[in-house]
Amino acid sequence: MPDVCPYLEYRQLEAETESGDAADAQPRAYCNAAEEFVQAMRADICNGRYGLDHETDCEIYREAEGLPEGVESEGGGGD
Ligand code: SF4
């Protein structure tokens, strides 16, 4: 069973609820640590898919928990 991050929540985008399309809209992965919606690739970490783990693979989680940096799993992409 995947280890889901405790900061993960699923929310509806405000624009979708305002436009009246809420019934069709899928809830999106939202990070309570970063206070923003997360991209699909990040959501794989949040949900513990593909062997990913928020404790080792998410710098947002590590910063929120006061854990030291030092796990470099992805090569130098920008932000
Ligand atoms: S982005 Fe990181 S801290 Fe936020 S929910 Fe996903 S794994 Fe957790």
pLDDT digits (tens, 9 = 90+) for 21-62: 555 678 999 999 999 999 999 999 999 999 999 999 999 999
* Tokens matching residue 47: 């949900």
* Tokens matching residue 48: 């513990």
CA of 17 to the centre of ligand 1 (A): 24
* Tokens matching residue 75: 């090569």
Terminal-to-terminal C-alpha distance of the chain = 30
The pLDDT value recorded for residue 38 is: 96
Write the DSSP symbol of residue 68: -
Note if the pTM is more than 0.75.
yes
- Cα–chain center distance at 26: 15
CA of 8 to the centre of ligand 1 (A): 6
Cα–Cα separations (whole angstroms), residue 65 to 17, 21, 54, 59: 32, 36, 11, 10
| Ligand 1 atom, smallest distance to 59 CA | 2
